[in-house]
Amino acid sequence: MLKGKIAVVTGGTRGIGYAIVKKYLENGAKVILFGSRQETVDKALASLKEENPEWEVSGACPSLTDAKEVADEIQAIHRKYGKIDILVNNAGVSDSMMTIDCNPEHFQEIINLNVNAVFNAIQPSVELMKEQGGGCIINTSSMVSKYGQPGGVAYPTSKFGVNGLTISLARELGQYGIRVNAVAPGITRTDMVAALPEEEIQPLIVTIPLGRIGEPEDVANACLFLASELASYVSGEILAVDGATIC
């Protein structure tokens, strides 16, 4: 479904991001994954290469909150491959700090990584996508962007921002053949959720009509659809991948 495409995936070393990278590779894309540290990048690449030595995958670890560093890496990828077809902004950080305990520095840290970093990757990519006649941008939002959450207000605030960025850019960039969408995962079996005891997981499942927690591959499948020609007329959507969670 993605044969010959060049894809950049931030936060691609584990969890949902890793599943997206793998799904894209399985479907013929060449993928550059971004991670927070070189050692996590190397570990992810080794795991992927072990699974299939033929996959064309590489990695980098630019600081996503440093606009110049990200732009330089995007330019380097473009020089190597001649294009960037797909950008997936998956990197982010969750938050559960109550408002009374949240100082301005902590709030800004969440916004920096979950919103500013997304923009930092989008801006240089858009410039290149306009020149090449189109592209696809997918941002990772969250079900809390719709429902909010009781605590950790910086996180839903940031994901509301991601939604606004997604919808507005879809309207702005459509004229250049650039589609912009987001996925909004619900409770998903990432490392954090997998570490929860069973007595904490069961009450969560009760809120999900489909009767199970989501898997990273569920989100990856949505990202595959949005990146493919099957979604060629889909832009400005926030696609919920949450099993119809009831909040």
Read off φ and ψ for residue 65, nearest 5 degrees: -90, 0
Active-site hit among 24, 81, 147, 155: 155
Say whether 155 is catalytic.
Answer: yes
DSSP designation for 211: S
8 Å CB contact between 137 and 177: no
From 12, 21, 73, select the one nearest 224 (Cα to Cα). Answer: 21
8 Å CB contact between 61 and 34: yes
From 190, 183, 188, select the one nearest 245 (Cα to Cα). Answer: 188
From 50, 130, 136, 56, select the one nearest 89 (Cα to Cα). Answer: 136
DSSP annotation string for 101-169: G--HHHHHHHHIIIIIHHHHHHHHHHHHHHHHT-EEEEEE--THHHH--SS-THHHHHHHHHHHHHHHH
List CB contacts of 14: < 8 A, sequence separation 6 or more: 40, 44, 190, 191
Residue numbers annotated as active site? 155
